[in-house]
Amino acid sequence: MTKDEILYYLKTHHEVDMYGIFELADRVRKRYCGDGVHLRGIIEFSNCCVRNCLYCGLRRGNGRARRYRMTVDEVYQVAECAVDAGVKTIVLQSGEDPYYSVSELCRMVERVKELDVAVTLSLGEKSYRDYRSLKEAGADRYLLKFETSDKRLYALLKPDSSYVNRFRCLEYLSELGYQVGSGNMVGLPNQSSESIADDILLFGMLELDMVGIGPFIPHPDTPLGGFNGGSSGLTVKVIALTRILTRNAHIPATTALATVDPEGRRKALCCGANVVMPNVTPFSYAADYEIYPDKLTEDTIDGAKKLVSSVGRYVAKGYGHSLKMGGNVNIPTH
């Protein structure tokens, strides 16, 4: 698809056009990914973060956040329950929290790998050496969303982060043999349709194994608390266009989408998504992992299974590894 075509579909409200795009995205998903939906259980093991992203409730400047950290043993126990319930991938996610040494994180990965699951990490930016240690410990995949391809917007939203380093990290991960995921937010303040079209093109250019797309949801305890959030309708369009462009990337129906629209995940599954990521963090902690407000905390594996069967699909049995045959992350030059 060209940028002009993507822009046309992002902007149109014409029902026939939209139906055509959603239907095509569903056909592409069926052809390249099949009808199986992969369940990934997310454990948010620490909500402490040294960074200060303007949109995020975990930002270090948010003095109202109740902080927590889980031990390796706690993480293992939660992972074991999720695996017993049928999950074949555990996603270990946290803010950028230097409290955990790399050796401790490696120990966490090694323990969880004892459960015969794929392990995805989502721990933010790290050095090449740290990523290598975590890979050697057994991590299979890494999620690092670039959030927006617009350099100027990125600098505003993430004032203590570097756009170039973000993409360098994605390149390191690819070099080290991780299955690499990235993604964006839809409906950010000052985000143009052109910028969203660039995000979609970049997903294709990076040859990502996984693409996470969610609406921006303003958190009241952040500097962006007074802005409007992204809509479910636009987010689903971005998912559909991304499916058509990337063909076989794993694309989740995100929790953020379910937060803005109770039917959001069902819509996403019917327009290109092939993954659901139930949050298996213990309820006592999950309520405090508040990147955005009103997040679903009672997100169960059984609920995810019901969601999958409600759209006439089935829960995939395997680990749900990448459907790509490899490929490198290319650093954007614009």
- Closest approach, Cβ 305 to ligand SF4, in A, equals 29
Residues 214 and 183: beta-carbon distance below 8 Å: yes
Among 58, 83, 143, 202, binds ligand SF4 (CB under 6 A): 58
42 binds ligand SF4 (CB under 6 A): no
Helix (H) or strand (E) holding 201: helix 193-205
Enumerate residues 82-111 that contact ligand SF4 by CB under 6 A: 95-96
E-strand stretches of the chain: 36-46, 89-94, 118-122, 141-143, 179-186, 210-215, 252-253, 275-276, 314-315
| Residue (3 or 151) nearer to ligand SF4, CB | 151
Please tell me whether residue 41 adopts helix, strand or coil conformation. Answer: strand
Among 6, 7, 49, 258, binds ligand SF4 (CB under 6 A): 49
Beta-ladder partners of 46: 69, 94
Enumerate residues 177-196 that contact ligand SF4 by CB under 6 A: none
- Closest approach, Cβ 221 to ligand SF4, in A, equals 12
Residues 170 and 206: beta-carbon distance below 8 Å: yes
| Residue (11 or 151) nearer to ligand SF4, CB | 151
Question: What is the DSSP code (8-state) at residue 185?
Answer: E
Please tell me whether residue 135 adopts helix, strand or coil conformation. Answer: helix
Only segment of 54-62, 114-122, 188-196, 204-212 that touches ligand SF4 (CB under 6 A): 54-62
Contacts with ligand SF4, 269-298, as mask; x by CB under 6 A: ----------------------x-------
> Of 291, 309, 283, 229, which is closest to residue 261 (Cα–Cα)?
229
- Closest approach, Cβ 158 to ligand SF4, in A, equals 6
Only segment of 23-31, 46-54, 65-73, 115-123 that touches ligand SF4 (CB under 6 A): 46-54
Residues 42 and 278: beta-carbon distance below 8 Å: yes
53 binds ligand SF4 (CB under 6 A): yes
> Of 263, 197, 210, 183, which is closest to residue 33 (Cα–Cα)?
210
What's the 3-state SS for 122-145? ECCCCCHHHHHHHHHCCCCEEECC
Residues 52 and 65: beta-carbon distance below 8 Å: no
> Of 138, 134, 100, which is closest to residue 118 (Cα–Cα)?
138
Only segment of 55-63, 136-144, 194-202, 228-236 that touches ligand SF4 (CB under 6 A): 55-63
143 binds ligand SF4 (CB under 6 A): no
124 binds ligand SF4 (CB under 6 A): yes
Count CB atoms within 10 A of the CB of residue 300.
Answer: 13
> Of 215, 240, 184, which is closest to residue 292 (Cα–Cα)?
215
| Residue (57 or 264) nearer to ligand SF4, CB | 57
Only segment of 10-18, 51-59, 171-179, 257-265 that touches ligand SF4 (CB under 6 A): 51-59
- Closest approach, Cβ 161 to ligand SF4, in A, equals 7
59 binds ligand SF4 (CB under 6 A): yes
224 binds ligand SF4 (CB under 6 A): no
Alpha carbon distance 170, 331 (integer Å): 8
Half-sphere exposure of 145 (CA within 13 A, CB side): 18
| Residue (10 or 185) nearer to ligand SF4, CB | 185
- Closest approach, Cβ 105 to ligand SF4, in A, equals 16
Alpha carbon distance 302, 118 (integer Å): 20
| Residue (124 or 214) nearer to ligand SF4, CB | 124
> Residues interacting with ligand SF4, by CB under 6 A?
49, 51, 53, 56, 58-59, 95-96, 124, 291
